Structure 1
């Protein structure tokens, strides 16, 4: 029949060279709609939806230098997006307003 895994994440889609990742922010955690495994360096569109019912934020950093490469607040029910260039350093993200742990994505690799 197939897999019976409770939650299979979709593969991110790439259109015109930009790969889209959807993130839903809840009270204290994020849920990714697409798998964050086997990503490649390049342009990514992060689409973040506030499902927490209160004001939250989204902060995106380079995973090695910790330089902030994207950040914005979201009102309850709001969805915002940003397009960011991701390197082989990978990235990490969190909510600085509704504290969440850092989600580190360090598996960004170029095919060799």
Structure 2
């Protein structure tokens, strides 16, 4: 039985244990210049309302780069962690996003918890 549970946990997507209220502060300092979390409010970048679980390049009234439209990613916490932990142009060559990445693991987990709560 324990082997089944261990196998199930290994197959489950990672749940990041960040602090959503601290993540709101990270969002303000790292993301808010270009992104909003209000539904339908695009800035330089698309709204991040409901980003976790959403298909990349899928907001109809935002003009995404061809690189992001063609990526066909689903923005899971794992995919967002991977994407945001490095320069955007490394993660998605051809993107319009100008971001150098967030290398502080705690801040990144906090940010992802916050983004997961915005829906």
- TM-score computed with the length of structure 1 as normaliser: 0.29
- TM-score computed with the length of structure 2 as normaliser: 0.28
Larger-Rg structure? 2
Q: If each structure's helix is expressed as a fraction of its own residues, which one has the higher value?
A: 2
Q: If each structure's strand is expressed as a fraction of its own residues, which one has the higher value?
A: 1
